[in-house]
Amino acid sequence: EMDQYLEQQETSYLNGWEEQEEYEDEQYYYGETNNDWLTEISRPRSHWEELRKSRYLEVMNTRSEKEDIRRLLERRTVTEFLESGLREKIDSLMMSR
Compute the distance between CA of residue 14 and CA of residue 20 in angstroms, rounded to an integer.
10
pLDDT digits (tens, 9 = 90+) for 54-94: 887 777 777 666 677 777 767 766 667 767 777 777 778 77
Long-range contact set of residues 46-55: C-beta below 8 Å, sequence gap at least 24:
52/82
Give rounded-to-5 percent helix, strand, coil for the chain. 85, 0, 15
Cα-Cα-Cα-Cα dihedral sign, residues 69, 72, 73, 74:
positive
State if pTM tops 0.85. Answer: no
pLDDT digits (tens, 9 = 90+) for 1-28: 666 666 666 666 555 555 656 656 665 5
DSSP string across the chain: -HHHHHHHHHHHHHHHHHHHHHHHHHHHHHHHHHHHHHHHHTS-HHHHHHHHHHHHHHHHT--SS-HHHHHHHHHTHHHHHHHSHHHHHHHHHHHH-
| Residue 33 confidence (pLDDT) | 55
